[in-house]
Chain A
Amino acid sequence: MTAVAEAPVAGAIPSFQVTLRLRRFNPETDTEPRWEDHTVTMHGTDRVLDALHKIKWEIDGSLTFRRSCAHGICGSDAMRINGRNRLACKTLLKDLELHKPITVEPIKGLAVLKDLVVDMDPFFEAYKSVLPFLITSGNEPSRERRQSPEDRARYDDTTKCIMCAACTTSCPVYWSDGQYFGPQAIVGAHRFIFDSRDEGAEQRLEILNDRDGVWRCRTTFNCTDACPRGIEVTKAIQEVKRALLFRRV
């Protein structure tokens, strides 16, 4: 018995050609952003970020984008891929329609600095303004601040935020009016408002009751669709609205 079935070569991963249509902007030479196409050979296990790396490392070193951990935790590489806000490091090429070019643009609503890099300052300013830190009164306890699993579960969803700005920059109100806090800031506030150990809820609710606070939310659910962490952003915003209406947290 010597017959051995011809098995496919182990580890062979199907490869394919993919065209990326990148929104490029170089502030030193361009007056307007422009589209640029690159066709590269990629594999079934590759993500959009890998394609961007390949272009940057092998074709055009001037391509500029942010990425740090490349594994969906740091929240650096949020971009608009085929018109949807996603993390380049969590979007597999094989899940996209490969028969036409994949468009990659910077996230909307923030000023483009270069290529896919935007100015994140207004985004972080909005986050800062909701006081995203523990506020307590009285003496520091000598042991840890204890919390029941039920109380912890109350705000579990909003602790997942990685501040990638995918939600905020998918919000039509944020696009047209830079004054709105944006979904992420409300998520950030939600995480502390519903924390039983925190005492700053009233203060944060008052901030979000502002003209540019939660009441500008039109519940279009763009933010919930965009969140790469699966946070129910719109639900969190509605919970803050409810807390404001009934002032019970």
Chain B
Amino acid sequence: MTTTIPAPRTPRRLRGRTNTELYAWMFMRASGVLLVILIFTHLFVNLMTGDGINALDFGFVAGKWADPVWQVWDLMMLWLAMLHGTNGLRTIINDYAERDQVRLWLKVGLYTATTITIVLGTLVIFTFDPCPPDAAADLLPSFCPVP
């Protein structure tokens, strides 16, 4: 017959088991490494290869986004950079905003801005069309087929 004696002191701040902070910490490390690769390859391809910086124009971006590889590449950069930055700001708010109300509203603002940016960016990457059929002809770039 054994009896279980509970721990002499119940920890004061334990709010249920959750690994949120652990995952957030791991995400920062993983996304940081990925972002270094993604961003520097992005910069190299855009600025160093071919005609380098002189090749950058509307047509260049349109050409890149016609390729699924660069679509996914830019999508990953967008999502990872936004989430990485948002999580960083979240920890700064947690560290330095002392009042609960201030904390809450700063985070509401942060998450709203993040959501809008991610949704808008994702939408643009996947629905981007350099030659929309119903646009005025003088607004279209030169490489669009003349209707």
Residues on A with beta carbons closer than 8 Å to the beta carbon of B18: 209, 211
Residues on A with beta carbons closer than 8 Å to the beta carbon of B7: 131, 135, 200, 203
The answer to whether B12 and A176 touch across the interface, beta carbons within 8 angstroms, is no
Chain B 78-110, CB within 8 Å of chain A: the 1/0 string? 000000000000010011101000000000000
Residues on A with beta carbons closer than 8 Å to the beta carbon of B22: 209, 215, 244-245
Residues on B with beta carbons closer than 8 Å to the beta carbon of A188: none
Chain A 215-233, CB within 8 Å of chain B: the 1/0 string? 1101000000000000000
Interface of B is mostly: loop
Contact of A209 among B21, B94, B95, B96 (CB under 8 A): B21
B28 vs chain A, min Cβ distance (A)? 10
A127 vs chain B, min Cβ distance (A)? 11
**CB closest residue in chain A, given B29:** A245
Contact-residue size bin, chain A (C-beta under 8 Å from the other chain): 20 to 34
Residues on B with beta carbons closer than 8 Å to the beta carbon of A177: 94-96, 98
In angstroms, Cα B95 to Cα A172, docked, is 9
The answer to whether B21 and A128 touch across the interface, beta carbons within 8 angstroms, is no
The answer to whether A131 and B95 touch across the interface, beta carbons within 8 angstroms, is no
A210 vs chain B, min Cβ distance (A)? 6
A181 vs chain B, min Cβ distance (A)? 8
Residues on A with beta carbons closer than 8 Å to the beta carbon of B24: 215
| Given A211-B20, A215-B21: A206 touches B9 (CB 8 Å cut-off) | no
Residues of B that sit less than 8 Å from A by CB: 7-9, 11-15, 17-22, 24-26, 91, 94-96, 98
* 14 further interface pairs, Cβ-Cβ under 8 Å (given A135-B7, A216-B94): A128-B9, A129-B11, A129-B13, A172-B95, A177-B94, A179-B13, A200-B7, A209-B17, A209-B18, A209-B22, A210-B13, A210-B14, A211-B21, A245-B22
Q: Which 7 A/B pairs are nearest by Cβ-Cβ distance?
A: A215-B21, A207-B11, A129-B11, A215-B25, A129-B12, A176-B96, A173-B95
Residues of A that sit less than 8 Å from B by CB: 125, 128-131, 133, 135, 172-173, 176-177, 179, 200, 203, 206-207, 209-213, 215-216, 218, 241, 244-245
